[in-house]
């Protein structure tokens, strides 16, 4: 296994559970890739990448690998989001009834009812999507996943196809009237990177439905607690993890590490970014690389150590539990994306704040808080200058953005750590700063991810692939790791029989 991101570790666990000898090589001394937590300041644990776990809680992987027995426990984040607007806050809870109440209070009965209808309409569709995420994206796999949905459709598939393929913005305008609700949901739908007016983003919007099926969560001890549990389980199953000695060269039958050791293997799985896999295979065909939608960055994050939680002017119950969404309008979202397309850092980007220390006292001393400020869209390659040139001004911009919604925030700041797209690339090998590895756009999903010929986890030159570069894409899920393990085991059984 090349790469100890969470997908690689999930794959390694399933392979070891099936009785194989598994060795994981990781170039970093920190395991978990973008699912890791480190002591960023003395006594303060801070995530390096992800914070909120949504998808993995729907896969069943945590239960199948019995990760709770090796120390993993989650804090449910319910309410999962609060969206702050002038004079009002919209509160999204897992219980649909309470979400209905909040929308009714702020936006009125029409939108509250429309939200419930939206959730009810998209729930079976999301369940079909979830089923498709747990399988290789073959024609048969996709048919099996979406078949139950097709049977419910009486009017042929036309209307269903339209609703899947349309933009998030179009669905919002079709269903709702209040701009604050539309903005909150548009900002949520943008979290995988695709902009809400783009064709095919309606399902991204509908991922809100998942939060009503099960609350998203944060592992106690930080996002990296998932990685620690996976490593512990893998070691119990006889697997080995080698940190700080990554692969330098790979083939279908061996991995040579940086220290020069050669490990022969019946199967090699690469769980790195697909561009890294190509580097390790010595494939430097520019035309092949150009087909991959690596993009030009996606977002960046400011980690702030404070002596208080942000005191939002529109205080509501549980506002520090989940995502705190600071987007004033859909125009603000569109402008940020437009500036990104033109190669600039947005002047007034929408923000998504999280405060993990509010619900987990193991992360920092009692009088300290970690405030995570995520923002989009930030280009890896700026039209002018470098990220280091604007590091201080960007840090201040994000602090001021939170301070506008929560006056006094700026004076609570004790220390900051900005992770620009360039930093994300250098620290975690997130090429081009894309936290999803490849763009999560329709032309790069399912059987098209990373490219049509490698989409079934059988990659170039006989090497297997998993991770965010493969179906079902980025985010904390583990699904590609489990599916890749199934493919490897099937192929090894076939080879033995032949």
Ligand X SMILES: Cc1cc2nc3c(=O)[nH]c(=O)nc-3n(C[C@H](O)[C@H](O)[C@H](O)COP(=O)(O)OP(=O)(O)OC[C@H]3O[C@@H](n4cnc5c(N)ncnc54)[C@H](O)[C@@H]3O)c2cc1C
Task: Out of 4, 90, 119, 229, name the contact with ligand X by CB under 6 A.
Answer: 4
Are the CB atoms for 128 and 145 separated by under 8 Å? Answer: yes
Question: Is residue 351 involved in binding ligand X (CB under 6 A)?
Answer: no
CA pair distance 419, 284, nearest whole angstrom: 29
Question: Is residue 467 involved in binding ligand X (CB under 6 A)?
Answer: yes
Token pair belonging to 108? 């009125």
Are the CB atoms for 10 and 61 separated by under 8 Å? Answer: yes
What is the C-alpha end-to-end distance of the chain, expressed in Å? Answer: 24
> What is the 3 state secondary structure string of 374-436?
EEECCCCCCCCCCHHHHHHHHHHHHHHHHHHHCCCHHHHEEEEEEECHHHHHHHHCCHHHCCC
Residues 6+ apart with CB under 8 A from 82: 89, 90, 91, 92, 312, 316, 318, 319, 322, 323, 324, 325
Question: Comparing C-alpha atoms, which of 283, 213, 274, 302 is closest to residue 7?
Answer: 274
**In whole angstroms, how close is the CB of 367 to ligand X at the nearest point?**
26
CA pair distance 107, 109, nearest whole angstrom: 7
Phi and psi torsions of 182, nearest 5°: -60, -40
Are the CB atoms for 107 and 181 separated by under 8 Å? Answer: yes
Question: Is residue 215 involved in binding ligand X (CB under 6 A)?
Answer: no
Residues comprising the chain, all counted: 498
Question: Is residue 3 involved in binding ligand X (CB under 6 A)?
Answer: yes
Question: Is residue 476 involved in binding ligand X (CB under 6 A)?
Answer: yes
83: which strand partners? 90, 325
Question: Is residue 450 involved in binding ligand X (CB under 6 A)?
Answer: no
> For ligand X, which is the closer residue by CB, 167 or 378?
378
Rg of the Cα atoms in the chain: 22
**In whole angstroms, how close is the CB of 271 to ligand X at the nearest point?**
6
Question: Is residue 436 involved in binding ligand X (CB under 6 A)?
Answer: yes
Task: Out of 14, 28, 74, 241, name the contact with ligand X by CB under 6 A.
Answer: 28
Tokens 């004790």 found at: 414
Are the CB atoms for 294 and 374 separated by under 8 Å? Answer: no
Task: Out of 13, 25, 302, 397, name the contact with ligand X by CB under 6 A.
Answer: 25
Span 280-309, contacts to ligand X by CB under 6 A: 280, 301
Helix, strand, coil % over all residues of the chain, rounded to 5: 45, 15, 40
Question: Is residue 423 involved in binding ligand X (CB under 6 A)?
Answer: no
Q: How far does Cα 429 stand from its chain's mean position? A: 15
Question: Which stretch in 64-72, 101-109, 271-279, 391-399 sits in contact with ligand X by CB under 6 A?
Answer: 271-279
Token pair belonging to 213? 């099926």
Span 5-24, contacts to ligand X by CB under 6 A: 5-8
**In whole angstroms, how close is the CB of 26 to ligand X at the nearest point?**
5
Question: Which stretch in 25-33, 73-81, 115-123, 171-179 sits in contact with ligand X by CB under 6 A?
Answer: 25-33
> For ligand X, which is the closer residue by CB, 301 or 445?
301
> For ligand X, which is the closer residue by CB, 49 or 328?
49
Question: Which stretch in 83-91, 101-109, 430-438, 443-451 sits in contact with ligand X by CB under 6 A?
Answer: 430-438
Residue 30-69 contact track with ligand X, rule CB under 6 A, x = bound? ---xxx-------------xxxx-x---------------
Question: Is residue 27 involved in binding ligand X (CB under 6 A)?
Answer: yes
> For ligand X, which is the closer residue by CB, 62 or 175?
62
Q: How many Cβ atoms from other residues are within 10 Å of residue 18's Cβ?
A: 15
CA pair distance 456, 316, nearest whole angstrom: 46
Question: Is residue 1 involved in binding ligand X (CB under 6 A)?
Answer: no
> For ligand X, which is the closer residue by CB, 77 or 112?
77
**In whole angstroms, how close is the CB of 4 to ligand X at the nearest point?**
5
Residue 163-182 contact track with ligand X, rule CB under 6 A, x = bound? --------------------
Q: Please tell me whether the peptide bond between 79 and the residue prior to it is cis, using omega within 30 degrees of 0.
A: yes
**In whole angstroms, how close is the CB of 153 to ligand X at the nearest point?**
30
Task: Out of 12, 15, 17, 26, name the contact with ligand X by CB under 6 A.
Answer: 26
Q: Which residues bind ligand X (CB under 6 A)?
A: 2-8, 25-28, 33-35, 49-52, 54, 246-247, 271-272, 276, 280, 301, 419, 424, 428-430, 435-436, 467-468, 474-476
């Amino acid at each position: 296994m090349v790469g100890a991101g969470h997908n690689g570790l999930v794959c390694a666990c399933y392979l070891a559970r099936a009785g194989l000898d598994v060795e994981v090589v990781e170039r970093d001394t920190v395991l978990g890739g973008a699912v890791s937590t480190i002591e960023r300041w003395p006594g303060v644990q801070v995530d390096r990448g992800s914070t909120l776990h949504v998808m993995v809680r729907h896969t069943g992987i945590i239960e199948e690998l019995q990760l709770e027995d090796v120390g993993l426990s989650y804090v449910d984040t319910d309410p999962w989001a609060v969206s702050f607007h002038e004079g009002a806050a919209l509160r999204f809870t897992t219980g649909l009834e309470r979400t209905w109440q909040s929308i009714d209070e702020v936006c009125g009965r029409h939108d509250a009812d429309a939200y419930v209808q939206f959730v009810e309409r998209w729930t079976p569709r999301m369940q079909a999507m979830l089923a498709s995420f747990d399988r290789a994206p073959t024609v048969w796999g996709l048919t099996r996943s979406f078949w139950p949905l097709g049977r419910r459709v009486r009017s042929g598939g036309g209307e269903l196809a339209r609703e899947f393929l349309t933009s998030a913005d179009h669905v919002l305008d079709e269903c709702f009237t209040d701009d604050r609700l539309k903005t909150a949901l548009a900002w949520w739908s943008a979290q995988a990177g695709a902009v809400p007016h783009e064709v095919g983003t309606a399902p991204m919007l509908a991922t809100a439905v998942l939060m009503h099926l099960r609350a998203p969560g944060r592992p106690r001890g930080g996002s990296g607690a998932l990685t620690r549990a996976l490593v512990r389980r893998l070691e119990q199953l006889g697997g080995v993890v080698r940190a700080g000695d990554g692969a330098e060269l790979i083939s279908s039958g061996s991995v040579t590490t940086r220290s020069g050791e050669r490990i022969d293997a019946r199967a090699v799985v690469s769980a790195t970014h697909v561009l890294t896999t190509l580097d390790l295979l010595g494939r430097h065909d520019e035309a092949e690389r150009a087909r991959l939608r690596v993009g030009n960055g996606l977002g960046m994050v400011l980690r702030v150590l404070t002596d208080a939680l942000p005191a939002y002017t529109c205080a509501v119950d549980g506002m520090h539990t989940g995502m705190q969404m600071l987007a004033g309008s859909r125009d603000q979202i569109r402008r940020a994306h437009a500036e990104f397309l033109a190669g600039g850092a947005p002047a007034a980007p929408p923000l998504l704040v999280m405060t993990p220390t509010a619900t987990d006292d193991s992360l920092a001393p009692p009088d300290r808080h970690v405030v995570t400020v995520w923002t989009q869209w930030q280009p890896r390659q700026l039209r002018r200058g470098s990220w280091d040139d604007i590091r201080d001004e960007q840090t201040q911009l994000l602090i001021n953005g939170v301070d506008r919604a929560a006056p006094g925030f700026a004076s609570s700041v004790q220390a900051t750590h900005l992770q620009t797209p360039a930093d994300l690339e250098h620290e975690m090998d997130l090429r081009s700063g894309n936290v999803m590895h490849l763009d999560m756009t329709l032309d790069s999903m399912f059987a098209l991810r990373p490219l049509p010929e490698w989409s079934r986890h059988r990659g170039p030159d006989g090497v297997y692939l998993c991770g965010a570069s493969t179906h079902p894409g980025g985010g904390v899920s583990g699904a590609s790791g489990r599916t890749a393990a199934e493919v490897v085991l099937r192929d090894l059984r076939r080879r033995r029989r032949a």
